[in-house]
Copies of this chain bind each other. A is one copy, B any other.
Amino acid sequence: MNALSQREQALFLLLNEIGIISQLSSARLERLLPHGLTVAQFGLLNHLVRLDGDWSPARLAAAFQVTKGTMTSTLQRLEAKGFISMRANPADGRAKIVTLTDAGRRAREAALAAAGPGLADLKAALSPADVDTLIPGLQKLRIWLDMHR
């Protein structure tokens, strides 16, 4: 009936918790974001601000570990909002170059300011020690999953 070992059950529980947290925290964050930004869009803006330089959609897809199709869609929506611009890569006829616009930079600032309080509330849920305990294990799991897909 239950074909899972105890260890497998623990792993199952772990992934279950992670799924629920992901869902709840995304919904929570998204409600705070301005300009109708989604979590995916906000993440992309943050990435482009922090790691300046030229990014192709393919590199972005790899960085976020989503498919190219998913990245195409998110980039199109951000472009429609005027927060990024895309141009052809003169050195590679297949590729595009993604650039953050000034409006995108401002939107990211506003989003960060709006999201801050939501994150601050979370301090009540987890102590700094809790967070430090969780992060290494989760990174291990994330890296393993990334390498074995």
Mark A residues whose CB is within 8 Å of B.
2-4, 7-8, 10-29, 39, 43, 64-66, 112-113, 116, 119-126, 128, 130-135, 137-142, 144-146, 148-149
Contacts and interface: CB of A to CB of B under 8 A. Distances in A.
A23 B39 CA distance: 13
Number of copies of this chain that the complex holds: 2
Contacts of A120: 8
A138 B65 contact: no
A27 B65 CA distance: 11
Given A10-B131, A135-B10, A112 B24 contact: no
A126 to B, nearest CB: 6
B144 A20 contact: no
A25 to B, nearest CB: 5
Given A21-B145, A141-B21, A119 B28 contact: no
A149 B27 contact: yes
A125 B145 contact: yes
Contacts of A121: 148
Contact of A116 (B3, B10, B20, B66): B3
